[in-house]
Amino acid sequence: MNNGYLWRLSHADASTLKRLITDVFPIKCWNFGGALLWDVRTNIPDKRENLRPITEVPSSAVEISGDFGHAFAEKAEVRWKRRDDGNYDLLVLSESPADPAPQFGLTPIAIFPEVVTMAGLTALLLDTPPELKAQKLRCRLDYNEYRTANGAAQFARYVRYHTEKEG
pLDDT of the residue at 37: 64
CA-closest candidate to residue 154, choices 2, 6, 1 = 6
Domain that holds residue 42: 4-113
CA-closest candidate to residue 88, choices 11, 152, 166 = 11
**Domain stop point among 75, 91, 113:** 113
What counts of helices (H) and strands (E) characterise the chain? 2, 11
Under 8 Å between Cβ of 32 and 51: yes
78 and 41: one domain?
yes
15 and 83: one domain?
yes
129 and 61: one domain?
no
Global pTM?
0.89
Select the more confidently predicted residue: 5 or 51. Answer: 5
28 and 82: one domain?
yes
What is the per-residue pLDDT across 63-91, written as a single tens digit (0 to 9) for each? 998 899 999 999 999 999 999 999 999 99
Under 8 Å between Cβ of 26 and 117: no
